[in-house]
Structure 1
Amino acid sequence: MFADRGIEIKTPEQIDKMRVAGLLVGETLELVRTSVRAGVTTAELDAIAEDNIRSGGGVPSFKGYSDPPFPASICASVNDEVVHGIPGDRVLAEGDIISIDCGAIVDGWHGDAAITVAIGEVPDDVAALMRVTEESMWRGFAAARLGGKVGDISHAVESYVRSQGDYGILEDFTGHGIGTEMHQPPNVPNYGRRGRGPKLVRGLALAVEPMVTLGTKRTDVLDDDWTIVTTDGSWAAHYEHTFTLMPDGAWILTAIDGGEAKLAELGVPYGGR
């Protein structure tokens, strides 16, 4: 059913179906992570991902999405490319970082997640950027409670990033609701104030995805009409998981373990099965 503002509220059975799609996304990203190395092209990573999604009974969410239609099954964004990089003949080199965004549809339900992976050794500031970005996502989950507001997540993401240094937080790209479509209301910004936005209720599924740079928050889109790059050439990291709130706590639908280990580390109740 749809609540106010067009927000889709799922039944417990539908959330279970989203977990199936989420697991396929999580497993695909882990497979791609292990395939990332110097000398591999981003198109080769895309082929690995698409094969795993389809052999797992899913359909890539991204392929053919929007206008112009996205031509691949993953987004592969390297170094100063923040999001929506199109896989192709680019060869990964030692010292690069690559953000891989992946979505899959199973039985009409979507999962969506992203990771950033270093190829070999990277400078300390780049390694810190990756750590801060990923941790900010988890701080967002840790701030989420039934009866709270979407802004509680946004505030937690921003507050953690700001506490760690002078980073750029993208404002033009946000997390989002997810379910029978990949992008649904509400938006989940990576900055904001507590107590603002739609209420966090049982059956709401959200994709939380901080995009953080070593410099500016300003971006340009390349001539392919998809790839988003920083205007100052600074490198960027991007992490994402799809999650929901259960009566006992958060359930990270695209994490292999449901997020149980990391939530425990943060002292947050785990609500998954």
Structure 2
Amino acid sequence: MIEILNQAELARARVTGALVAEILQTIRARATVGTNLLEIDAWTQAMIVGSGAQSCYVDYAPSFGRGPFAHYICTSVNDAVLHGRPYDYALRDGDLLTLDLAVTKDGIAADAAISFVVGDARPAGSLELIEATERALAAGIAAARPGARVGDLSHAIGTVLRAAGYRINTQFGGHGIGSTMHQDPHVSNDDRPGRGYKLRPGLLLALEPWVMADTADLVVDGDGWTLRSATGCRTAHTEHTIAITPDGAEILTLPPSAR
């Protein structure tokens, strides 16, 4: 299913996107050395419920997972890159933490992710990983406009990641979003330009470049959800929800400080 939102729905999407950004930035500020991943999940639950929104994750049970996700946010640490299920773990100085959050409010969903290093330590390569995903995301957004093809966005993202020296896994990537979290079209993190669905004003996309330092291969944790680098190397993941406009793309999940 591909949805094209009308102006009233886009206005609601802006509200949802702002909420996702606010929650992520609040948690980023509170996540310090010693913070437990289960605390982060509880904070997220409280903020979602307190805002009158609904979690896209807590009851999420796709074919690739093991039962409902049963948590409110993805917390991926170091070698974990996607679908990191919160568990009893206290963050350490230098941990690379990715927070991935999707919520629905007033019938419209928004999805975003941020990666950052906890504490004062800066393990080698961590900031480079994060910055590469941020640059790739910016390139994908810059390519998003009416008449562009999904492959144009994928090519822009992949070009940045490959130039930074990273291998690209195309099994998981971006996606359409609207009244539900995951919709068509799929937006791979690498592809040839000129291919795929033609973008139209009112289309919402969640673009999410992610990389692993020295591999493109994933392994699945025993929890049936958390995806890790096959070599144990560090990873990073950055995501925004955007709306295609007549003039280009509007980022719906920017934090207040960046607007």
Q: Please, what TM-score do these two structures have when normalized by structure 1? A: 0.90
Looking at structure 1, the residues matched to 109 and 118 of structure 2 have their Cα atoms a distance apart, in angstroms, of 29
Determine helix, strand or coil for the equivalent of 2:21: helix
1:204 is aligned to 2:203: yes
**2:60 aligned partner, one-letter code:** Y
For 1:123 and 1:98, the matched residues in 2 are separated by 13
- The whole-number CA distance in structure 1 between the counterparts of 2:134 and 2:92 is 23
Q: CA deviation at 1:207?
A: 0.2
Q: Which residue of 2 aligns with 1:27?
A: 22
Letter in 1 for 2:186: N
In the other structure, the counterpart of 1:38 is 33
- The 2-side partners of 1:12 and 1:35 are apart by 35
1:68-107 per-residue CA deviation (whole Å, 9 max, x = no partner) reads 1001100000000011111121111001111100011101
Q: Deviations over 1:187-232 (max 9, x none)?
A: 0000001111100101110000011110111101111110001111
Indicate yes or no: 2:60 matched with 1:65: yes
Q: C-alpha distance in 1, partners of 2:251/2:180?
A: 18
- 1:269 maps to what in 2? none
- The reply on whether 1:18 has 2:13 as its aligned counterpart is yes
How many equivalent residue pairs?
254
Query: Residue 88 of structure 2: SS of its match in structure 1?
Result: coil
Q: Deviations over 1:127-161 (max 9, x none)?
A: 11111111111110011121110111100111011
Query: In structure 1, how many angstroms separate the alpha carbons of the residues matched to 2:257 and 2:183?
Result: 22
Query: 1:51 aligns to what?
Result: 46
Matches within 5 A, 1:102-117: 102-117=101-116
Aligned to 1:218: 217
**1:252–1:258 Cα contact (<8 Å) kept:** no
Higher RCO (Cα < 8 Å, 6 or more apart): 2
How far apart are 1:168 and its partner, in Å? 2.6
Alignment of 1:254-265 (within 5 A): 254-257=253-256
Matched letter for residue 8 of structure 1? E
- Structure 1 segments (4+ residues) deviating >2 Å: 256-260
Instruction: Give 1:257 shift.
Output: 4.9
* 1:239-258 aligned within 5 A: 239-257=238-256
Following the alignment from structure 1 to structure 2, what is the Cα–Cα distance between the partners of residues 28 and 186?
26
Give the fraction of aligned pairs with identical amino acids, expressed as a percent: 41
TM-score (norm 2): 0.95
5 Å matches for 1:68-83?
68-83=67-82
* Amino acid across the alignment from 1:114: A
What is the CA distance between 1:175 and its match in structure 2? 0.5
- Where structure 1 has 5 or more consecutive residues not aligned to the other structure, the ranges are 1-5, 261-273
Contact 2:146 2:247 in 1 (8 A): no
Q: Deviations over 1:162-189 (max 9, x none)?
A: 122x213221111000001100000000
1:50-81 Cα deviation digits (max 9, x unpaired): 11111112111111101510011000000000
Is the contact made by 1:38 and 1:93 (CA closer than 8 Å) also made in structure 2?
Answer: yes
Alignment partners' CA distance in 2, 1:247 and 1:179: 18
Q: Is the 8 A contact 1:252 1:259 kept in 2?
A: no
Q: Distance in 2 between matches of 1:258 and 1:101?
A: 19
Asked if the contact 1:169/1:210 (under 8 Å) is kept, the reply is no
Whole-Å separation in 2 of the counterparts to 1:49 and 1:139 = 29
Q: Partners in 2 of 1:64 and 1:239 — Cα distance? A: 23
Rounded Cα–Cα distance in structure 1 between residues aligned with 2:124 and 2:132: 12
